[in-house]
């Protein structure tokens, strides 16, 4: 261990102990001996000072154990690696998606068969939360598509669960399927199929063709090209945003080295949870918007 490292550890340890003692001394002082506003400010100062000192001490220890900052080395591929399963070459994103679907399915069975074998008329606890989520998905879908189809709400709810599951696996250092262009294009293709299915269902085949040729048949090729571009646009948008979040996390870890302790967890709350939830919402709202446009 170098002299600089010893000094860092000593200073951070002394600072942490000092802030801890100061916080306890302030706590045991009589209420009337210190101005309430000043007490509140000092208490906040000592608290954050203690947190930062402890974090820096732990970061220095981790940095010493891991050999310090090793520089930025970020490697990524547009498509996920492949594995052999029973002689078949399968994408790792596909395998991860299977695991996510299996976990959702098992949790659903446990919820339905063991936790709530019979739903109560007056829901409480978990049942109430589940019903609120399902009703919210149904109401949101119905509002966006003007009560087009009750089945569409079930698809949107399932899609949201799948994408949230994809975001969750990144917390376990697993590449999320949504950062694989093949996976995102598959979701975009499903949206393309739904757009044309509901468009034809609502207007009929010739009505759908007439809508594409409106107001002038000359623009029909451009409208068709625009429809074909929808799944590509959705796929690339989702893929780029999810891959970007993954790269930012890798850059943060690589640039900070051992000092990334705690920071990656805080950043992960955004890039691995909040940011994917935003992208899930955007993907869903665009899907419903395109379906609504095709049926108007």
Answer whether the bond into residue 213 is a cis peptide, omega within 30°.
Answer: no
Residue 88: strand pairing partners: 85
Q: What is the pLDDT of residue 26?
A: 74
Q: What pLDDT sits at residue 248?
A: 75
Inter-axis angle of helices 92-109 and 150-169, to 10 degrees?
Answer: 120
* pLDDT score, position 255: 64
Cα dihedral sign for 83, 89, 92, 96? negative
pTM flag (> 0.85): no
Report how far apart, in Å, the C-alpha atoms of 61 and of each of 5, 12, 66, 191, 258 are: 9, 11, 9, 50, 8
Record the tokens describing residue 56, joined without a space: 């820096």
Of the two residues 24 and 95, the one the predictor is more confident about is 95
β partners of residue 90: 83
User: For 64-119, how does the pLDDT look when each residue is reduced to its tens digit (9 = 90+)?
Assistant: 665 655 555 556 666 677 888 887 888 888 889 999 999 999 988 888 787 777 77
What is the maximum alpha-carbon separation in the chain? 84
Residue 253 above 60 pLDDT?
yes
Q: For 29-51, what is each residue's pLDDT tens digit? A: 776 666 777 778 888 888 878 88
Res. 161: pLDDT tops 70: yes
Over 90: is that where the pLDDT of 189 sits?
Answer: yes
Q: What is the mean pLDDT of residues 235-252?
A: 79
Residues making up the chain, counted from first to last = 296
């Amino acid at each position: 261990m170098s002299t600089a490292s010893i000094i860092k550890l000593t200073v951070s340890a002394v600072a942490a102990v000092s802030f801890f003692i100061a916080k306890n001394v302030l706590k045991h002082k009589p209420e009337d001996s210190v101005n309430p506003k000043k007490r509140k400010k000092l208490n906040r100062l000592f608290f954050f000072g203690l947190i930062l000192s402890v974090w820096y001490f732990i970061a220095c220890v981790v940095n010493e154990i891991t050999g310090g900052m090793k520089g930025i080395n970020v490697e990524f591929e547009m498509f996920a690696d492949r594995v052999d399963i029973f002689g078949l070459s399968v994408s790792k994103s596909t395998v991860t998606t299977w695991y996510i679907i299996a976990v959702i399915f098992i949790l659903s069975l446990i919820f339905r068969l063991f936790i709530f074998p019979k739903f109560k008329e007056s829901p409480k606890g978990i049942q109430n939360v589940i019903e609120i989520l399902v009703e919210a998905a149904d109401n949101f879908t119905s509002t966006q598509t003007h009560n087009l189809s009750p089945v569409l709400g079930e698809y949107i709810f399932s899609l949201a669960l799948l994408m949230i599951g994809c975001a969750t696996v990144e917390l376990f250092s697993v590449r999320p399927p949504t950062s694989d262009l093949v996976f995102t294009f598959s979701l975009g293709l499903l949206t393309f199929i739904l757009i044309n299915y509901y468009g034809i269902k609502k207007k009929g085949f010739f009505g759908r063709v007439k809508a594409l040729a409106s107001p002038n048949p000359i623009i029909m090729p451009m409208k068709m090209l625009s429809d074909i571009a929808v799944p590509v646009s959705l796929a690339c948008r989702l893929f780029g945003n999810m891959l970007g979040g993954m790269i930012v996390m890798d850059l943060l870890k690589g640039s900070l080295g051992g000092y990334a302790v705690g920071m990656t967890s805080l950043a992960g709350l955004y890039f691995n949870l909040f940011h994917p939830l935003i992208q899930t919402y955007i993907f869903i709202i665009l899907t419903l918007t395109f379906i609504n446009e095709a049926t108007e």
